[in-house]
Structure 1
């Protein structure tokens, strides 16, 4: 099969559902509620349809997902300042203690493949609510663990249950947002996922310095309990417009679990996300998102303490302050990503006389690649030139620039992938999360060897080359093919 035919299956030109066939009552309702019938997707006339919910209610649901995505990476990376203490307490070396973080990343990268089919059939609210409560209990247990095995068990199980929320981001946005809002709304949970990685060590460094390791776990538990309470007041977003959902009876009904007759359960659903690899646009997006996340986020967060503590002789609290650079960069990147890409798409659609071409969004993505490359070069060169014992802000400026670029790429490329298969938004987001997490999990195993053999400047050059080769170039190729297909 040719690339162009594959691209055509990916919907280079996004088809807006035709509103000409709707009834007068439906038309009147949409005009009163939304002020337009030119909406993608086209809502029903049912007020219970999530697309018809009030804006505040939609934002509440998406914000909960963003907070959950933030907490997932916050809890995984938040153990970083405690590695040395836990290694001593459990009688293991430092790299072995670091597996507490790696194990969580791997688990919540894979387990969504299990959760999403269940959530699509039986509803999301129950799984998200129970997942938050389970994580709360497990983190309390982590505070009292006395052996390496006990602690590893709690970390793996936390990864299992926190993966319910990491699996739901793109699905919930797809349930609640129209196509012209996807860039901004996907940016909320994308920013949460990215910023949680530096945010965890930034906060827990202070906790480790002043209260000890146990209170890191108790802080995680408090966060999860708050999420649990907030999820109680949330609503179910799974809704099928063609066929009304049937709410289960008995115990399942009491638990808030519903079964959709329009979305019957099938074992094939577990492999649905992996089928997205056949879509050229989506595969390009997944590779780009994974490479940039690994080299403009994971490498900065994971290697920061191992590099800067011995180089500048920092304690846990001082080390936590270094993560401010990545946090600031990520926030700036999001400001330049979601809203900007949505504005650009509106402008591009107007230029094309109302024709919405999804590859137009990729123009914003190139800004991200440039920032990632510039940031990594600045970070690597100034670390290489740094004088031991004399702290310098210059490498952190590079880290902030790279973080901003990473967030631009993550938000824009994720939205582009979802635009390529809007009716498979859940599967697309799951596929991206799966590959990105696994690739990020592998990185820490070779990062130390890379820095030892190539030094920081040489390693930065290598990572920039990988970004250009496996992210920028394929994105440009997909862009060119997509534009030519439209013409």
Structure 2
């Protein structure tokens, strides 16, 4: 079955490979040596995608090596959003130091979110062609230097320059999550393994504000940047001992590696078209609907809480930086619970559905696991908004934070399942699909803080929560339901055609 018909019929076949070459494997065409190798290494040949008999094939690596690479990516995505949101407790101090308003200081975070969305369009094609390891390693080292420089900046312009450049280089790792999982994980593992880096990306937002609040309160702004630099240096060390995951399976490939580790592969030649190729996935109905659902839910289930919580809670309850940081525990707990539910459950559910369909994998089956996520986001936002409206000034209450935790759990569950579903539509180009998701999600999240204050001022907390719930229901739940229904109808027609 050709790959484009997979998106049409919502069915994954075990003969589809996810590398860049137009190459299909079949267990019936395996050589005896290939068959024996796969049985010895994996204990089965029923694998999607089917590995080669080369021990250097990333799918044949030891499990500890695969997990190391994916966890390194997860730590990198966590660090990226950690550093962006970790600026929030320092807004007041930096605004005073640089002679600007707190609103102007907030752009240190907003501009990084914007860069996270755009730069992967550049990094992904380069990494797919020349290898990921050199870009990830050098990017982490440059970020370390830029964060050290950020601690010595004396003007707003200098600090803004370091934040923009920092986002440019840290976006190498935010670009690579889906690609690395696609290189290392089989189809039955994608839900859990995508959940690792997805959790890191989501958890970094509240985690940054939580940790740096203590740092800002006890040690000052400069140490916030020192901590960022330390995290980047740890990343640098992790990448130094990592392995290259880019591999051309089933294609004649001649690789030349220069003295700084950048490779040039004959199977993956450079092309300027690569820089816009991720945008071609906008033509896929399933992927685009998933991107819309993921973007809207991430904005109102994560960004709005992370960005607005400091401004709302500080003015309402008069909290200091350390007290404010404690409020983010709710988002951290919710996100972790959401991921514990989402990843393993998603893979288990798909195995069960595949077994019921006699080995045929229908990717829209995964969408059943999103609806309770949307419900959690909506219920959590209502609790958060209503109890903030009822809150008494200077009398702290945990009730809004309960709503925030519920929302965070639902958001992370949706993020993991929807991202995996989008990649399932075109596993051959997992990296490009991830870039498309990240681009739209980041740009939509970047726009949010510009209108959030006006929304809360005009509608109040309860009214704003109601509006956001409506948007999540319409552009999240309803779009998912439409995709699910269309896929279900096509599956019914397929079942009738083979009877």
TM-score, normalised on structure 2? 0.95
Distance 1:85 1:439 in 2: 28
Tell me whether 1:266 sits opposite 2:271 in the alignment. Answer: yes
RMSD between aligned alpha carbons?
A: 1.1
Distance 1:462 1:8 in 2: 36
Distance 1:244 1:446 in 2: 52
Give the match for residue 79 of structure 1.
Answer: 87
**Aligned counterpart in structure 2 of residue 207 of structure 1, from 206, 211, 215:** 215
Give the match for residue 34 of structure 2.
Answer: 26
Per mean C-alpha deviation after superposition, the further-off stretch among 343-352 and 9-18 is 9-18
**Aligned counterpart in structure 2 of residue 242 of structure 1, from 233, 237, 250:** 250
Tell me whether 1:285 sits opposite 2:253 in the alignment. Answer: no
Tell me whether 1:68 sits opposite 2:39 in the alignment. Answer: no
Q: Deviations over 1:182-218 (max 9, x none)?
A: 0000000000000000000100000000000000000
Give the match for residue 453 of structure 1.
Answer: 458
Tell me whether 1:12 sits opposite 2:17 in the alignment. Answer: no
Q: Deviations over 1:316-371 (max 9, x none)?
A: 00000000000000000001101001000011111112111000000011111010
Q: Is 1:75–1:220's contact at 8 Å kept on the other side of the alignment?
A: yes
Q: Is 2:338–2:411's contact at 8 Å kept on the other side of the alignment?
A: yes
Q: Is 2:6–2:425's contact at 8 Å kept on the other side of the alignment?
A: no
Q: Is 1:77–1:197's contact at 8 Å kept on the other side of the alignment?
A: yes
CA-CA distance at 1:8 after TM superposition:
5.7
Distance 1:427 1:410 in 2: 17
Specify the SS of the correspondent of 2:151. helix
Give the match for residue 346 of structure 2.
Answer: 341
Distance 2:318 2:5 in 1: 52
Specify the SS of the correspondent of 1:205. helix
**Aligned counterpart in structure 2 of residue 351 of structure 1, from 352, 356, 363:** 356
Tell me whether 1:92 sits opposite 2:90 in the alignment. Answer: no
Distance 1:255 1:442 in 2: 39
Gaps of 5+ in 1: none
Distance 1:150 1:425 in 2: 37
Q: Deviations over 1:26-71 (max 9, x none)?
A: 0000000001101000000000000000000000000000000000
**Aligned counterpart in structure 1 of residue 421 of structure 2, from 411, 416, 421:** 416
**Aligned positions of 1:155-304 closer than 5 A:** 155-248=163-256, 253-304=258-309
Give the match for residue 473 of structure 2.
Answer: 468
CA-CA distance at 1:247 after TM superposition:
3.1
Specify the SS of the correspondent of 1:248. strand
Q: Deviations over 1:367-419 (max 9, x none)?
A: 11010001000000000100000000000000000000000000000000000
Specify the SS of the correspondent of 1:38. coil
Distance 1:158 1:244 in 2: 37
Gaps of 5+ in 2: 16-25, 493-499
Q: Is 2:75–2:197's contact at 8 Å kept on the other side of the alignment?
A: yes
Give the match for residue 124 of structure 2.
Answer: 116
Aligned length: 480
Distance 1:31 1:6 in 2: 30
CA-CA distance at 1:248 after TM superposition:
2.3
CA-CA distance at 1:15 after TM superposition:
1.4
Q: Is 1:50–1:239's contact at 8 Å kept on the other side of the alignment?
A: yes
Distance 1:149 1:182 in 2: 42
Q: Deviations over 1:216-244 (max 9, x none)?
A: 00000000001101100000000001235
Distance 1:240 1:8 in 2: 21
Distance 2:279 2:388 in 1: 39
Cα distance change on mapping 1:394 and 1:7 into 2, 3 Å = farther
Consecutive aligned runs of 4 or more in structure 1 exceeding 6 Å deviation: none
Q: Is 2:142–2:169's contact at 8 Å kept on the other side of the alignment?
A: yes
Distance 1:482 1:7 in 2: 13
Give the match for residue 22 of structure 2.
Answer: none
Give the match for residue 40 of structure 1.
Answer: 48
Tell me whether 1:56 sits opposite 2:61 in the alignment. Answer: no
TM-score, normalised on structure 1? 0.97
Q: Is 2:6–2:12's contact at 8 Å kept on the other side of the alignment?
A: no
Distance 2:28 2:214 in 1: 59
**Aligned counterpart in structure 2 of residue 378 of structure 1, from 372, 376, 383:** 383
